[in-house]
Amino acid sequence: SAAGVSQVTVRDALNQALDEELERDERVFLLGEEVAQYDGAYKISRGLWKKYGDKRVIDTPISEMGFAGIAVGAAMAGLRPVCEFMTFNFSMQAIDQVINSAAKTCYMSAGSIAVPIVFRGPNGASAGVAAQHSQCFAAWYGHCPGLKVVSPWSSEDAKGLLKASIRDDNPVVMLENELLYGVPFEMSEQAQSKDFVVPIGKAKIEKQGTHVTLVSHSRPVGHCLEAAAVLSKEGVECEVINLRTIRPMDIETVEASVVKTNHLVTVEGGWPQFGVGAEICARIMEGSAFNYLDAPAVRVTGADVPMPYAKILEDNCIPQVKDIIFAVKKTLNI
């Protein structure tokens, strides 16, 4: 690979970010189930307990409401907690803390109480973990003012967004994907520096194109790029947008792309009703880019069912490359 560019897994990128921010600011600490002595359920916090000790990397009981509450209180008192949920499905145990305590306090206190906390962990479907571990919460948390919500795809996204989230004075929900943890991505020398952050609220164009805009976040961004590569051989050039942030949503980047391509397909792992794609479609409908659409926008989403356990059913519930190609051909009428 090119000079200064190396392959880094999403897991290592997140570990780097946590290590750098724990070192940079002594107010930062990590807490959650298995984060300390076991090195993290997914090994995201590998080596950090050994390096920083019990006060900075804290194993908690299996009580999300309890440790999320402790973390929110710590943030109100001036610390900068990173609260790991073993899966975001279990953040439901603590949703009162996340929404009623963390998200609403800055506004309700007229700005006098900041809550600089990051809630992070795997979100959406993994593999073979059934309905209670497979839900995507991008639409849930993206619905709530007072939160910032980020959803990384690549190692660069993961590192830069986690660092930006820890430094932000607002509560941030960071939705990772378990199936991406072991995936290596190219990272530039710049992205591996201690100063590197990805600004919250800015999408990234992963591939330029002229015929159709594909908008996605998290793991399906990779599926969009795969679909774009297949379609390119058939003479269809897709522009692929990686949202990176769910709230605040960078609709300007999407609008500019739609003005150029005149076609829009959204792709997400979550359910269709009131989803991220639904929001993008509504915003495009309400804005000036609507006049540039030559066909209705099309959503590619997870199936509208609780996730089945059986592998073949699970595959049929998650957007695949073929589904994206089908949607593109449908909107382009080819």
Task: For 190-231, write each residue's pLDDT tens digit.
Answer: 999 999 999 999 999 999 999 999 999 999 999 999 999 999
Q: What is the share, in percent, of the chain residues with pLDDT greater than 90?
A: 99
The per-residue pLDDT for 20 is: 98
**Per-residue pLDDT for 135 more than 80?**
yes
**Cβ–Cβ < 8 Å for 267, 224:** yes
Q: Tokens 């201690």 belong to which residue? A: 194
For residue 1, name the pLDDT band (cuts at 50, 70, 90): low
| Backbone phi, psi, residue 108, to 5° | -70, -20
Q: What is the pLDDT of residue 92?
A: 97
Asked whether the predicted pLDDT for residue 272 surpasses 90, the reply is yes
Reported in sequence order, the residue ranges of the chain that DSSP labels E, i.e. its strands, are 6-9, 28-32, 57-59, 80-84, 118-122, 148-150, 172-176, 184-187, 204-207, 212-216, 238-242, 245-247, 264-267, 298-300
Residues 94-130 have pLDDT tens digits of 999 999 999 999 999 999 999 999 999 999 999 999 9
Q: Supply the pLDDT for residue 2.
A: 63
Q: Please, which pLDDT band fits residue 140 given cuts at 50, 70 and 90?
A: very high
Of 18, 219, 226, 255, whose CA–CA distance to 138 is shortest?
A: 219
- Which domains does the chain carry? 7-192 (3.40.50.970), 204-332 (3.40.50.920)
Segment 141-147 shows an average pLDDT of: 98
Beta pairing partners, 300: 267
Task: Please write the tens of the pLDDT for every residue from 274-313.
Answer: 999 999 999 999 999 999 999 999 999 999 999 999 999 9
Q: Which strands, in side-by-side order, build the sheet including 298-300?
A: 204-207, 238-242, 212-216, 264-267, 298-300
**Is 58 in contact with 35 (CB distance < 8 Å)?**
yes
Evaluate if residue 323 carries a pLDDT over 60: yes
Which residues participate in catalysis according to the annotation? 64, 133
Is-above-0.75 flag for pTM? yes
Helix-helix angle 321-332:220-233, to 10 degrees: 60
